[in-house]
Amino acid sequence: MTLHRDDEASKMGMWIFLFTELLLFGGLFLVYSIYRYKNPQAFAHAGEELNVLIGTINTVVLITSSLTVALSITAIQKNKPKLAIGLIWLTIVFALVFMVNKYFEWGAKIEHGLFPGQEHYNTIEPGEKLFFFLYYFMTGLHGLHVLVGSVLLLFVITRIRQGRVTYDNFVFHENGGLYWHLVDLIWIFLFPLFYLIK
Amino acid sequence: MTDLVQKEHLNFYQDKQGHKGIWAWLLSTDHKRIGLMYLYSIMIFFLVAVTLGFLMRLELIKPGKQFMEPETYNKLFTLHGVIMIFLFIIPGIPAIFGNFVLPLVLGAKDVAFPRLNLFSYYLYVLGALFALSTLVIGDGAADTGWTFYAPYSVKTGTNVSLSVLAAFILGFSSILTGLNFLTTIHRMRAPGMTWFKMPLFAWSTYATAWIQVLATPIIGITLLMIIAERFFGIGLFDPALGGDPVLYQHLFWIYSHPAVYIMILPGMGIISEIIPVFSRRRIYGYNAIAYSSLAIAFIGYFVWGHHMFTSGMSGPARIVFSLLTFLVAIPSAIKVFNWIATMYKGAIDLQPPMLFAMGFIFLFTIGGLTGLVLGALATDIHLHDTYFVVAHFHFVMFGGTGFAFIAALHYWFPKIYGKMYNIRRATTAFWIMITGFMLLYFPMFIAGFRGMPRRYYNLLPRFQIENFISTVGSWILITGLLLMIINLFIGARKGKKADKNPWKGLTLEWQTDSPPSLENFDEIPTVKEAPYNYKS
Ligand code: HEM
């Protein structure tokens, strides 16, 4: 079979896929808003447990990583594969920083006994339980996306090395970047919902 | 040189792309082979679910317990529903005919992402195995009904997690298929095929694919929440713990009602192909049919609430949902009128595909009109969760989509296999099936109207007559089904060689060989005329 190449099609496929990802989180945002509406005080109270500083750092880290990924695409378009690879590595390092922060954040919550099933958790109000459940579920699912995105970027690196992603054939790289921006975008909504709204 | 010439004339069965034996199937990215793999898998699951339906009907032949425990009955209807919905009717037409026929009617070599296509198939198989494994693993198949309503689905000891996970994986497969078709239709139409020269089957696949892509993620996330609930017990949908069970129902139906249109739209597309060919007339109101597909897809998003008229929704919400439900009937009716108008004064040729298509119109109209009875608030309060509903959805899903599916099988069979089945036997099978169908499901309307509730393993003596007729009907229907399958099976193996274009269709798939070659067309065709241009 002759392999045909259609960059427009690949990009279109990616955009549609991103829509489905947005809707996936959309369901969760819906649940969040309904329960927030029903338990405003409990949500506000539980929200104070979260560490705004770590959240802010992570937001900055993710936004910066979006920048590096965008720069890497420009680099490949200008036929500078080495630079592009370097920038992608930088992006992945940011992703790791994000995940390590997340690890400490979750770790601290769990130490306080705030994970479903733990003792302290069992004593808090139902509304707060819902808050924490949604917190773990949504940031957990988002974290999973960070990991998937990083793996995707590793593939981009391999393909650049193999010469399959080049200055005149970089749609795979672009799609990887698009996915990464999505991960970023979702976080930008998660951050205020959990950390900032009082 | 001779090698090259020979390769030109291999059909896709013979062209194994260098693979040996079974691998030529399992590793193939050819849309035709993938379509056929779906066909065989889906038929197997369908027969499993039909067997379950047969057993349930047997239990209900007369009042009292016949041979199964109430719990067994609960598991059977759940598994029957899960298989029929998630393994048969949702993937059915898109995955089989969308794959096999869509690139052909568009004049394309393949779908946009062939490898992704194969991946979707394996996701489908994985999901199916999960669904069926609930039968043997752990505490047995789920007993919640295919809707997995919380909080019961969170509390029951049966294998809900596994069934739910299966539905999640199947949803993912469905999303990827939809994505693939959308891109294919946007990017791979033959030169000259503008949007409004596209065959109507492609239009309906297009509308369906949007629903698949936009609605499925919601159920995906909802099902994940059910699984998380079962592991952590937070009470997301449990009123005792501050959760809201009606919210689950909303989330479930935000997907599952649009999914109903995933089920019916492709069927409508098939009927729109078949009717003009066997009436030898140009389709009446091409644009109306194309737009009504999109309209159904669009309005279909906003009617989910009608599943919850009785579960606690505000008055205004109920009225709005009821109104929208009535609205969605309009585009469906437009299609039915267009089909009939196409047949009017046509030279109708009652070949098996046409028979099944007319069966579709008949049964679907009954199903659709009774849907309005359920969509109206006052009557639904009375009929909710009765056998009236069971009859309604079997009429639309089985009588509608199921019959369209069978019509499509008979219509494209010669293209797929290059052979013809026995026409007389197919006709006989049709008449047996439609008789059995009416006997099986029509009495359910009456029983339901008189108050018989659904999802019970037993029945009150006053519903005895209806249920007896219904069970006998199931035997007749299944006989017809088996006859049809055997006929097709024999046809595929020993049937007479079929023409390239036995039905004298005008769409592109009939211009290429039967079975087509690996790349479908020797030369990508150029389209000049609108489809269905019969001179009459
Ligand atoms: C020979 C064919 C069939 C027979 C004998 C049959 C029979 C039945 C019976 C007896 C029930 C249980 C009703 C109750 O107790 O509430 C049922 C439920 C159902 N059937 Fe079928 N059926 C058949 C084909 C189909 C087809 C083709 C579809 C879909 C495409 C389908 C979809 C369903 C669904 C979704 C349910 C509801 C399950 C639930 O309550 O969770 N059936 N069927």
What are the phi and psi torsion angles at B46 (to 5°)? Answer: -60, -45
Task: Find the mean pLDDT for residues B207-230.
Answer: 88
pLDDT digits (tens, 9 = 90+) for B423-432: 999 999 999 9
- By the 10 Å C-beta count (0-12 exposed, 13-18 middle, 19+ buried), A183 is classed as buried
- Put simply, whether A30 touches B (Cβ < 8 Å) is yes
> Do B361 and B400 contact (CB within 8 A), yes or no?
no
Domain contains B534: no
The answer to whether the CB of B68 is under 6 A from ligand 1 is no
Which residues fall within 8 angstroms of residue A140, CB to CB, at 6 or more apart? Answer: none
Least confident of A118-122, B215-219, B398-402: A118-122
Show the tokens assigned to B425.
């036997």
Say what the pTM is.
0.90
Q: Report which ligand 1 atom has the smallest distance to the Cα of B89.
A: 30
- By the 10 Å C-beta count (0-12 exposed, 13-18 middle, 19+ buried), B529 is classed as exposed
pLDDT digits (tens, 9 = 90+) for B292-346: 888 888 888 888 888 877 777 777 888 888 888 888 888 888 889 999 999 988 8
DSSP code per residue over B39-53: HHHHHHHHHHHHHHH
Its domain, for residue B235, covers 2-511
pLDDT digits (tens, 9 = 90+) for B358-391: 999 999 999 989 988 888 888 888 898 999 999 9
Q: With a cut of 60, say whether residue B169 has pLDDT above it.
A: yes
Please give the distance, rounded to the nearest whole angstrom, from the Cα atom of residue A27 to the centre of ligand 1: 29
Picking from B507, B515, B409, the residue whose alpha carbon sits closest to that of residue B107 is B507
User: What are B453's strand-pairing partners?
Assistant: B386
* Residues of chain B that touch chain A, judged by Cβ-Cβ distance less than 8 Å: 17, 29-30, 109-110, 112-114, 116, 175, 179-180, 182-183, 186-188, 213-214, 216-218, 220-222, 224-225, 228, 232-236, 241-244, 247, 251, 254, 518-519
Give dist(CA A25, CA A141) in Å, integer.
9
The answer to whether the CB of B89 is under 6 A from ligand 1 is yes
In angstroms, how far is the first alpha carbon of chain A from the final one? 59
3-state DSSP: chain B helix, strand, coil percent, rounded to 5?
70, 0, 25
The single-letter DSSP state of residue B498 is P
Give dist(CA B102, CA B408) in Å, integer.
13
Residues of A in contact with B225 (CB under 8 A): 31, 137
Task: Find the mean pLDDT for residues A112-129.
Answer: 79
Q: With a cut of 90, say whether residue B154 has pLDDT above it.
A: no
Residues of A in contact with B221 (CB under 8 A): 24-25, 27-28
Q: With a cut of 70, say whether residue A179 has pLDDT above it.
A: yes
Which of B42, B71, B363, B394 has the most ligand 1 atoms within 8 A of CB, as the residue to mutate? B394
Domain ranges of chain A: 44-196
Residues of B in contact with A17 (CB under 8 A): 175, 179
Task: Find the mean pLDDT for residues B438-460.
Answer: 94
Q: What is the pLDDT of residue A144?
A: 95
Q: How many CB atoms lie within 10 A of CB A135?
A: 23
With vertex at residue B305, the alpha carbon angle to CA B301 and CA B307, rounded to the nearest 5 degrees, is: 115
Comparing CB atoms, the residue among A2, A16, A31 nearest residue B182 is A16
Give the residue carrying structure tokens 């079979």: A1
A64-72, long-range: CB < 8 A, 24+ apart: A64/A94, A65/A90, A65/A91, A65/A94, A65/A95, A65/A98, A65/A180, A65/A184, A66/A180, A66/A181, A66/A184, A68/A94, A69/A153, A69/A176, A69/A177, A69/A180, A69/A181, A70/A177, A70/A181, A72/A173, A72/A177
The single-letter DSSP state of residue A115 is S
Tell me the average pLDDT of chain B: 89
In angstroms, how far is the first alpha carbon of chain B from the final one? 46
Residues 122-181, chain A, touching B (beta carbon < 8 A): 125-127, 129-130, 133, 137, 141
Number of structural domains in chain B:
1
- Put simply, whether A5 touches B (Cβ < 8 Å) is no
> Do B141 and B78 contact (CB within 8 A), yes or no?
yes
pLDDT digits (tens, 9 = 90+) for B461-483: 999 999 999 999 999 999 999 99
Q: Distances from the Cα of A171 to the Cαs of A13, A59, B15, B179, B507, in angstroms?
A: 11, 27, 31, 17, 34
Domain contains B521: no
User: Which stretch of DSSP H or E encloses residue B419?
Assistant: strand B419-420
Task: Find the mean pLDDT for residues B12-40.
Answer: 87
Residues of A in contact with B109 (CB under 8 A): 1-2, 4
> Do B352 and B423 contact (CB within 8 A), yes or no?
yes
Comparing CB atoms, the residue among A19, A28, A125 nearest residue B213 is A19
Q: With a cut of 90, say whether residue A185 has pLDDT above it.
A: yes
Residue of B nearest to A1 (CA): B519
Q: With a cut of 60, say whether residue A153 has pLDDT above it.
A: yes
Give the residue carrying structure tokens 């003792």: A119
Domain contains B116: yes
CATH of the domain at B228: 1.20.210.10
pLDDT greater at residue A99 or residue B11 = A99
Rounded percentage of chain A residues whose pLDDT exceeds 90: 62
Q: What is the pLDDT of residue B535?
A: 67
User: Which stretch of DSSP H or E encloses residue B342?
Assistant: helix B315-343
Residue of B nearest to A133 (CA): B234
Task: Please answer yes or no on whether A126 and B235 come within 8 Å at the CB atom.
Answer: yes
Largest CA distance in chain A: 64
Question: For residue B1, what pLDDT band results from cuts at 50, 70 and 90?
Answer: very low
The b-or-e profile of B62-89 (16+ CB within 10 A means b, else e) is eeeeeebeeebbbbbbbbbbbbbbbbbb
What are the phi and psi torsion angles at B17 (to 5°)? Answer: 50, 35
> Do B274 and B354 contact (CB within 8 A), yes or no?
yes
Give dist(CA B63, CA B88) in Å, integer.
31
Give dist(CA B220, CA B259) in Å, integer.
13
Q: With a cut of 90, say whether residue A191 has pLDDT above it.
A: yes
Q: With a cut of 70, say whether residue A157 has pLDDT above it.
A: yes
Question: For residue B138, what pLDDT band results from cuts at 50, 70 and 90?
Answer: low
Task: Please answer yes or no on whether B235 and A130 come within 8 Å at the CB atom.
Answer: yes
Q: Distances from the Cα of B387 to the Cαs of A20, B53, B67, in angstroms?
A: 36, 15, 21
Task: Please answer yes or no on whether B217 and A27 come within 8 Å at the CB atom.
Answer: yes
Give dist(CA B320, CA B317) in Å, integer.
5
The answer to whether the CB of B454 is under 6 A from ligand 1 is yes
CATH topology of domain A44-196: Four Helix Bundle (Hemerythrin (Met), subunit A) (1.20.120)
pLDDT greater at residue B233 or residue B185 = B185
According to DSSP, the β-strands at B496-497 and B419-420 are antiparallel
Q: What is the pLDDT of residue A2?
A: 44
Task: Find the mean pLDDT for residues B193-206.
Answer: 92
Picking from B532, B429, B536, B526, the residue whose alpha carbon sits closest to that of residue B483 is B429
Least confident of A158-167, B276-285, B306-315, B505-514: B306-315
- Å from A19 to nearest chain B CA? 7
Picking from A160, A192, A185, the residue whose alpha carbon sits closest to that of residue A75 is A160
Task: Please answer yes or no on whether B228 and A137 come within 8 Å at the CB atom.
Answer: yes
Least confident of B52-66, B130-144, B462-476: B130-144
Give the residue carrying structure tokens 């078709």: B181
Output the CA torsion B294→B296→B298→B303 (10° steps). Answer: 180
Q: Report which ligand 1 atom has the smallest distance to the Cα of B402.
A: 27
Q: With a cut of 60, say whether residue B3 has pLDDT above it.
A: no
> Do B280 and B534 contact (CB within 8 A), yes or no?
yes
> Do A142 and A101 contact (CB within 8 A), yes or no?
no
Which residues fall within 8 angstroms of residue B252, CB to CB, at 6 or more apart? Answer: B147, B148, B149, B219, B222
What are the phi and psi torsion angles at B60 (to 5°)? Answer: -95, 15
Give dist(CA B397, CA B392) in Å, integer.
9
Give dist(CA A141, CA B316) in Å, integer.
35
Picking from B58, B39, B155, B156, the residue whose alpha carbon sits closest to that of residue B101 is B39
pLDDT greater at residue A70 or residue A4 = A70
